[in-house]
Amino acid sequence: MAVLSHQHYPLKSLLHPVPTCQHQHRSHSVRVTTCSATSSTNLKPGSNPNQLVIEPRLALSSTTSTTTAAKSSPPLLNDPALQSTWAHRAWVATGCSTVLVSLAKSIAAAASSHIWLEPMLAGYIGYVLADLGSGVYHWGIDNYGDESTPIFGSQIEAFQGHHRWPRTITRRQFANNLHALARVIAFTVLPFDLLCNDSTIHGFVCMLAGCIMFSQQFHAWAHSTKSKLPPLVVALQDAGVLVSRSQHAAHHRPPYNNNYCIVSGVWNEFLDKQKVFEALEMILFFKLGVRPRSWSEPSSKWIEEA
């Protein structure tokens, strides 16, 4: 007789046969069955053919089981969450349009004034600062908050899932991967397009905004195999213009607290050697009492699954 050690049943119920039945409870169900005489060949010598067999079963609600399965398995290849919608495409088109208008106004103003050096330097500064900004933002959502955090909750949850299944980003469709940043860029750059005609300002804005908007695509390329990337992308990665695959791979290895920048990665060595993020973590801890996730042992959410 198989009986759970932590459950007790009245002796009377074990001495008399009971018809097969099933009792449903909120969290557990117990099935009580009788062994038929025809199955006596499978019984041990001396066992009672009418003996009760109590089989405990855990009854999980469909909602709980579905949620658990969703959090413990990577998205499927045809998962709608990885596919672009028309809304995603519209936002990416809008974001790209505002950046291109800014670039066009910078070129037009530089051509009319015959001053090219300042807009070009401003564009380079924007490119460099975009890498720094991507690192700071990446560090923040990797270490603080959760899925319930206002505004940033969905991105925090997505980056946690990315640590567990990093190659899923390579299966995201283009607009699906960029639409969130494109929406921010569209609202940020549009006022400059409408109100400003300075070539230097537009040189800075278009490069900064463009690199930030496409940073998630640079990120996806850093997770792709070399054979699946266009030769131009591979050349830009090897030249250090875009974050390389080898450099970003270090971010997905213990202790998961370095190489946060995902545009060019030019800031990663400096930020890690100077322990800039560690200093920021100490300041936030002593000022607000908040511990970053990087101080704890990696949980299952941080460990890549094969």
pLDDT tens-digit map of 101-119? 999 999 999 999 999 999 9
For the cut 90, the answer to whether the pLDDT of residue 13 exceeds it is no
Burial 20-53 (b: 16+ CB within 10 A, else e): eeeeeeeeeebebeebeeeeeeeeeeeeeeeebe
Q: Name the range with the highest mean pLDDT among 58-67, 230-239, 251-260.
A: 230-239
Q: Percent of the chain having pLDDT more than 90?
A: 56
DSSP letters for 34-90: E--GGGGGGSPTT--TT-EEEEEEE---HHHHHHHHHHHSPPPTT-GGGS--HHHHH
Measured CA distances, 176 to 183, 277, 280 (Å): 12, 30, 32
3-state secondary structure of 277: helix
User: What confidence category does residue 166 fall into, taking pLDDT thresholds of 50, 70 and 90?
Assistant: confident
Place of tokens 């564009």: 123
Residue 159 is predicted with a pLDDT of 81
Cα-flanking dihedrals φ and ψ of residue 157, to 5°?
-60, -40
How far is residue 114's CA from residue 89's CA, in Å, rounded to a whole number? 37
Token duo for residue 52: 């009760």
What does the pLDDT read at residue 43?
Answer: 45
Q: What is the dihedral of CA 240, 243, 246, 248, to 10 degrees?
A: 150
Average pLDDT, integer, range 158-173: 84
For the cut 50, the answer to whether the pLDDT of residue 7 exceeds it is: no
Q: Which of 219, 67, 192 is nearest to 138 (CA)?
A: 219
Higher pLDDT, 8 or 242: 242
Q: Read off the DSSP letter of residue 173.
A: -
Please give the share of the chain, as a percent, with pLDDT higher than 70.
71
Best-predicted range by mean pLDDT (41-50, 156-165, 265-274): 265-274
Q: Is the pLDDT reported for residue 188 higher than 90?
A: yes
Q: Render pLDDT for 86-98 as a digit per residue (tens, 0 to 9).
A: 999 999 999 999 9
Better pLDDT: 279 or 49: 279
**190-207 mean pLDDT:** 97
pLDDT for 82 = 85
Question: For all residues of the chain together, what is the average pLDDT?
Answer: 80
The single-letter code of the amino acid at 256 is: Y
- 173-182: average pLDDT: 94
Instruction: Identify which has the larger pLDDT, 286 or 33.
Output: 286
Distance from C-alpha of 43 to C-alpha of 45, rounded to nearest angstrom: 6
Please tell me the pTM assigned to this model: 0.73
Show Cβ contacts of residue 5 under 8 Å, excluding neighbours closer than 6 positions.
none
Q: Check residues 216 and 64 and name the one with the higher pLDDT.
A: 216
pLDDT of residue 45: 47
The gap between the terminal CA atoms of the chain, to the nearest Å, is 41
Nearest Cα to 264, choosing from 218, 230, 233? Answer: 218
